[in-house]
Amino acid sequence: MLDADDLISLVRNYNPKTNEALLRGAYAYAQKMHAGQTRHSGEPYFTHPVAVAAILTEQRLDDATIATALLHDTIEDTKGTYTEIAKLFGADVAELVDGVTKLTNLELSSREAKQAENFRKLLMAMSKDLRVILVKLADRLHNMRTIRHMRPEKQAKKAHETMDIYAPLAGRMGMQWMREELEDLSFRVLNPEARNSIMRRFLTLQKETGDAIPRITDDIEAVLDRHGVKAEVFGRAKKPFSIWRKMQEKDLAFSRLSDIYGFRVLTATEDDCYRVLGAIHQRWRAVPGRFKDYISQPKSNGYRSIHTTVSGRDGKRVEVQIRTRQMHDVAESGVAAHWSYRDGVRSENPFAVDPAKWLEGLTERFEAAEDGDEFLEHVKLEMYSDQVFCFTPKGDVVQLPKGATPIDFAYMIHTRIGHSCVGAKVDGLRVPLWTRLKNGQSIEIITAEGQTPQASWIDIVVTGRAKAAIRRMLREEDRERFIKLGRELARVAFEQVGKKATDKALDTAARAIGLKTGAEMLARIGSAELSARSVVARIYPELAGQTETSDVEVRRAVIGLPAGAETRRAQCCQPVPGERIVGITYLGRGPIVHAIDCPALAAFDDSPERWIDLHWTEGRHAPVHNVTIDVTISNQKGVLGRICTLIGEQNANISDLNFIDRKLDYFRLLIDVDVRNAEHLHAVMMAVELDSDVASLQRSRNLDRRP
């Protein structure tokens, strides 16, 4: 562990004017507060904040950030308080420590239900002072470096969290080295066999070919010398996880991967970067499609570099990055370069971005999200995406994520352009709207009055901005129809628990799930974005958990049950009156009623003692027997509403519906219908199947729903 003098010496290397008293005081205070505490490894706990501070010195960060690293766990894990820290070390440090504490208390989870709100809070914490997240990233990096001392289940949880949240965040901030190390440390925990396999293959490759890095480095230096370019050349093998990801994405074996080594050339000037590029391309053949110029088109986090891949020795591909030393500083530190020091003064790096502007650019695309799921989708799209740069006909640059389409491009120009898009030209040639754009292409959007987005566009676009705009427009177009359908679904769901779907009840339910009005909730129920049953369960949990009315009706309608027996229909086959049935007994609960031809009954062939002979009562039955039908319909406006009307005309209630597949030309959905008996079900299915826009219809029987 570094002592105070060693840590101060590290800071003084890049900031001779460091506030030694502040750092020494923070060191002593944290050491005192953490006295007696130990880590899982048995080491004194104080070794951790010192290690975090040392990581941040590698980024040449300011005194306040280094002091925060030393103090970051004092409010959370000791008797230290915000007031005391503010008094001893100033309001700036106290605010940073408090921000890190709040970030730690988020308990960021990889579960979808919590991620959206956690990301919102994380971005809020970042918006106050980005140095908070820099300390948190360094904290996570040291924890991952020492994770082997935790319990296996805790290691897996932390590794998933790191892979899902912190690693992509580090990459988005431009700290690519940290992203790679966080990913590889997580990979070591989550898939050790795969990682060890790659390491073994690396060793085998080195034995067979020798260490290729020094040879290729010498080759590049020799070429640059002949062209009179002064530059530093560095080479490295790519991280195991980076190689693994490329193997998965390209479905290649290790032996077929070529660019497993990366080389970096650092020059004095921007002109030299292009001279280096020319020299390398003259000496080796450039690989088509593997050239990116982030100097002329920088990334939003300030990253600038030229990337090219060439065929080197023995036809092996080699990736080369070319940049100036100032560009390299930003490439290593990302947004953190704004706070870095050199020779005692804030580094005047022309490529460092303003953190406030960077954060504004990161968050502005999330503000249009109307719910947590959309927000989370936007975040993930932005965090994980690489970028392509395309041009408008006037030459303006539009930055898009990798895989973007002309529709994405149109929405980036303006929402109105996106809504009215009917076609696109790429480099002067008409292309389908689902075409994936590439770097440097010129895009012309063709629009038409009266055009509106198609539902199929949701599956084509990749940007959160486009997805949100399309969903909003589709909701507005279909709002009245969906509200009408949603009201009917809500009525049935409320009646099943003995309640009425009054306007007051609907408004209360909407507020409970974070929506403004009951009408908005009904529209989402009608469009299958929300389940009417889940809404009822939210405001009447005690009723939703009880036996449903249909189960009561089953007991009344079935003959042959033991006296007082509780029973219910099997959801795998959903038998209805008029069909032959049998009961299967279960220890501790009543028998389950199955249709006699249910495939699930095969599991009970060796247990005849569990079978009960049952049959339905004669006469008219109540329409409470829920059956799921699997319907494929044309993706045309009004078709779904017409199908629901046809079901209603047969005096059958729709209790739920769920889209399970959306394609360009069709939708496939499951519709839950309440019927009286087999004859009633046949009438419903016949009425629906006769519609010309119904491609297929069948009763859904699913063994995954067995009891």
The CATH number covering residue 675 comes to: 3.30.70.260
Same domain, 225 and 273: yes
pLDDT band of 109, cuts 50, 70, 90: very low
pLDDT in tens, 407-437: 999 999 999 999 999 999 998 899 999 999 9
Exactly one of 20, 58, 77, 507 is catalytic; name it: 77
Q: What's the CA gap between 173 and 352, in Å, rounded?
A: 11
Locus of tokens 């044309």: 634
- More confident position, 475 or 194: 194
45 near 34, Cβ under 8 Å? yes
pLDDT exceeds 90 at position 22: yes
- Between 146 and 238, where is the model more confident? 146
The whole-number pLDDT of residue 314 equals 63
Asked if the structure places residue 52 within a domain, the reply is yes
pLDDT single digits (tens) 71-108:
999 998 889 899 999 999 999 999 999 888 877 766 55
Cα–Cα distance for residue pair 701/653, rounded to 1 Å: 19
Domain check: are 38 and 110 in the same one? yes
In a domain, 436, yes or no: no
Taking every pair of Cα atoms in the chain, the longest distance, rounded to a whole number of angstroms, is 99
User: CB neighbours of 61 closer than 8 A, spacing ≥ 6?
Assistant: 131, 134, 336, 339, 340, 341
The answer to whether 265 and 232 are in contact (CB under 8 A) is yes
456: nearest Cα among 443, 474, 444: 474
Q: Which of 136, 160, 190 is the endpoint of a domain? A: 190
The Cα 9–Cα 164 span in angstroms is: 35
pLDDT at residue 111, as a whole number:
46
Q: In this predicted model, what pLDDT tens digit does every residue of 432-459 receive, in sequence order?
A: 999 999 877 889 999 998 888 887 888 8
pLDDT of residue 501: 85
The DSSP code for 618 is S
Q: Is the pLDDT of residue 259 over 80?
A: no
Q: Using the predicted structure, report yes or no on whether residue 158 has a pLDDT greater than 60.
A: yes
Q: How far is CA 134 from CA 170, 225, 301, 368, in A?
A: 9, 39, 14, 27
Handedness of CA 510, 516, 521, 522 (dihedral sign): positive
Contact 194/187 with Cβ under 8 angstroms?
Answer: yes
Among residues 161, 198, 210, which one has the least CA distance to residue 182? 161
Residue 214 domain-assigned (yes or no): yes
**532 and 590 fall within a common domain:** no
Can you give the C-alpha Rg of the chain in angstroms? 32
Using CA atoms, how far apart are residues 678 and 684, in angstroms rounded to an integer?
10
pLDDT digits (tens, 9 = 90+) for 594-618: 999 888 888 888 888 889 988 888 8
- Regarding predicted confidence, which is higher, 665 or 471? 471
**Higher pLDDT, residue 658 or 140:** 140
pLDDT of residue 113: 41
What is the C-alpha to C-alpha distance for residues 376 and 506, in angstroms, rounded to an integer?
26
pLDDT of residue 302: 79
Give residue 364's pLDDT: 55
Query: Does 395 fall in a domain?
Result: no
CB 350 within 8 A of CB 338: no
| β-bridge mates for residue 425, sequence order | 430, 444
Average pLDDT for the chain = 82
Q: Please check whether residues 606 and 687 belong to one and the same domain.
A: no
Domain boundary among 346, 365, 398: 346
pLDDT at position 595, please? 92
553 with 539, same domain: the answer is: no
For 528-554, how does the pLDDT look when each residue is reduced to its tens digit (9 = 90+)?
Answer: 777 787 788 777 776 655 444 455 566
Is residue 253 domain-shared with residue 327, that is, in the same domain?
A: yes
Edge-to-edge order in the sheet of strand 429-431: 429-431, 421-426, 443-447
Q: Which two structure tokens, joined as six digits, stand for 382?
A: 């932005």
Average pLDDT over residues 633-645: 82
Q: Does residue 64 sit in helix, strand or coil?
A: helix
| DSSP state, residue 621 | -
The pLDDT, as a whole number, for residue 384 is 47
> In terms of domains, do 222 and 280 share one?
yes
How far apart (Å, rounded) are the C-alpha atoms in residues 276 and 322? 7
Q: Of 23-32, 158-167, 386-395, 688-697, give the range with the top mean pLDDT.
A: 23-32
Give me the catalytic one of 43, 76, 386, 661: 76
Last residue of a domain, one of 525, 544, 563: 544
Mark whether 182 and 241 lie in a shared domain: no
Q: Is the Cβ–Cβ distance between 368 and 375 less than 8 Å?
A: no
Domain membership of residue 412 (yes or no) is: no
Backbone angles phi, psi at 154, to 5 degrees: -70, -35
Q: Which of 353, 359, 360, 323 is nearest to 338 (CA)?
A: 353
Whether 645 is covered by a domain: the verdict is yes
The tally of CA atoms less than 13 A away on the side-chain side of residue 233 is 21
DSSP string, 171-184: HHTT-HHHHHHHHH
Distance from C-alpha of 301 to C-alpha of 214, rounded to nearest angstrom: 32
Residue 363 counted as domain residue: no
Average pLDDT over residues 482-508: 82
Based on the domain organization, do 106 and 215 belong to the same domain?
Answer: no
- 108 in a structural domain: yes
Q: Please spell the DSSP secondary structure of 289-344, one letter per residue.
A: T--EETTTS--TT----EEEEEE-GGG-EEEEEEEEHHHHHHHHHGGGGGG-EETT
Instruction: Name every residue whose Cβ is closer than 8 Å to that of residue 264 and which is 6 or more positions away in sequence.
Output: 233, 234, 235, 236, 320, 321, 322, 323, 328
Kindly provide the b/e burial profile for residues 667-700, where b requires at least 16 CB atoms within 10 angstroms of the residue's own CB. bebbbbbbbbbbebbebbbebbeeeeebeebeee
Predicted local confidence at residue 324, as pLDDT: 95
Q: How many domains is the chain built from?
A: 5
| Residue 371 tokens, joined | 């719910």
Q: Which amino acid is at 290?
A: R
Regarding whether 291 and 216 lie in a shared domain, the answer is yes
Helix, strand, coil fractions of the chain, as percent rounded to 5: 50, 15, 30
- Active site includes 77? yes
Of the listed ranges 100-104, 158-162, 230-234, 270-274, the least confidently predicted one is: 100-104
E-assigned strand segments in 499-570: 558-559, 568-569
d(CA 137, CA 122): 12
Rounded to two decimals, the pTM is: 0.56
Q: What does the pLDDT read at residue 655? A: 80
- The answer on pLDDT for 301 being more than 80 is no
Given a cut of 80, is residue 704 above it in pLDDT?
no
Question: In this predicted model, what pLDDT tens digit does every residue of 320-370 receive, in sequence order?
Answer: 999 999 899 888 877 777 777 666 666 667 777 776 666 666 555 555 444
- Write down the pLDDT at residue 605: 86
Query: CA angle, 659 as apex, 653 and 661 as ends, to 5°?
Result: 145
Calpha distance 500→502 (Å, rounded): 6
254 half-sphere exposure, CB direction, 13 A CA radius: 18
- Do both 589 and 674 map to the same domain? no
Best-predicted range by mean pLDDT (148-152, 195-199, 375-379) = 148-152
Domain of 582, in residue numbers = 549-616
42 phi and psi angles, rounded to 5 deg: 95, -10
Q: Are residues 212 and 339 in the same domain?
A: yes
